[in-house]
Structure formats: C-alpha cells, structure tokens
Structure 1
Amino acid sequence: LKPGDRQRHVRAWEVWAATGTPLSVWQDGKAEPAPWKFVTLLLSPDRAWLRRRIETRFDAMLAGGVLAEVHAVFERGPDPAWPGLKAHGAPELFRCFRGELSVDDARRIAIDHTRQYAKRQMTWFRHQMTPDFVLDPMTDQVLGESEKFLDKSEP
C-alpha cells in the first residue's frame, strides 16, 4: 500500500479487525472456484438519458433540501479527510458555502463531476469482465433476459 492511500489503509485495517487475518493473506490465498454459476449483467443506459437523469437527480436533491443538510455538516467543520465529504456534490457545495462558487456554479460543476464519474464507471466495467448480457435498464428486457438465463441454468 502506498503511504498516502488513506482509503486502502482503512480498508486493510477493517479486514484485519473483522477477520484477524491481514488483507495481504486474503489477497495471496488461492480461491476455490465458486460452486455456483454466475450471470453478469451490465446495465448500460443510453448516455443522453443518463446525463439527463444525473441532472434531474441533482436538481431533486437541491429541491429536497440538500443545501441545508450539507450546510449543517459544513457548520461543524469536519475533518477534510472524512469520506462523506467526497460524496457527489458535497465538495462543490462546500465551496459554495466558503463563498468560492455560486449555487448555480456549484450545481453545474457537481453535475459535470458526476457525469465524469459515471463515464469512468462504464469504462471500468467494460475492462473488468465480459458480461453475459449488456442491457439498457430503461427497457423491460432486463428482467426477461435474466429470467431466460436462470431458467437454462442447472439447479
């Protein structure tokens, strides 16, 4: 682990605390093949739909009072390393409360950052495995295709 990688250090400690076994032992171990058959589904929505959905969701959060919620956290002066402060929109709203951004600019930047994150997720998923199905979650085919696959599987 790199010395400055706080997130991985915390995770390694959590694994050790929960199991009594260092993470490195788990990672070096030879895994037994799973006794189950897995199906991998990659939900890949239309990009234009996803962009609109991200914007709509952030606007709903603003309408639902996220400014007051984040401001209450801001007022407490939390440790900047706290993982919750990395939530989508939180850094931008904190900048707004410090007077560095207007609410409109914070909204726009937060939406852009969330879109970039969604794009990185899709890139990551494409390079992890070859999914059995790549499905558009906006269609009814997701459930139907999953059921067809499961019906063909052995018990």
Structure 2
Amino acid sequence: MKNVLCTTAGVVGSFIASLFGGWDTGIATLLLFMGIDFFSGLAVAGIFKNSTKTETGALESRAGFKGLCRKCMILLFVLIAYRLDLAIGTNYIRDAVIIGFIANELISITENAGLMGIPLPGVLTKAIDVLKKKAVTE
C-alpha cells in the first residue's frame, strides 16, 4: 500500500510540475516565497494584530482565503506563460513571469516584516512606497 501511495503521489506531482514547465529553481523559489509571504501574513494578523487586509488588523478567514486565491492566480499566470512559450517556440516568457512574481512576493514579505515591527532601511521603505504608488496609478 505504501508503494502505491508513493507512486501515485509521484505521478500526480510529476504531472502537475510538467503543466508548469517542470520543476526548476524558478518555480521552487516562487513557491517558497509564496509560502513565506502567506505565513508571514498570518503572523502579522494572528500574532501582531496589525494586518492592513482587515478592519481590526486581526486574523480573518475571508482575507486568508482571498490571499490563497491570489496565490492560485499567480500559478495560473505561470501556467499560461509556459503554454505561450510552447505555442510560439520560446523559453523566456515563463521565466520572466516567475521573476516578476518573485519580486512581488519579496516586496510583500518585506512589508509583512515591517508590520511585525522589524526595522527596515529607509531606502527599502521608499522603494516599496514608490512601487505601490506606481501600481495604483497604472
């Protein structure tokens, strides 16, 4: 039974990884950063009660669910980018999308660290503010 479960998990995992263009450093890093961002967001809301996603700043299941939906959408963009690469015979669209979302997750992780009270360098705080303002105006 153990071998059947391990084999089934391996086959399913391989199939899912192949949908996203394989398991490489880019996708592994993106998934790692997504996990860190999600759990640091849970800590900001659950422990520090300082979330910007809820009125009270506390943990709220609806906000957590919205965050998970956003993470799923990011993975769908990676899937779409990989399929575009296959369709037009290139191999850089997926990597560009992954790098862009890794940068976005890193900004969010940094924001969560700031909400936890970790002192951030002024340059980093200003850079995040500039990126947020650009995202709002575009």
Tell me the TM-score normalized by structure 2. Answer: 0.28
| Greater helix content | 2
Q: Relative contact order: is structure 1 or structure 2 higher (C-alpha 8 Å, sep ≥ 6)?
A: 1
Which structure's CA Rg is the greater one?
A: 1
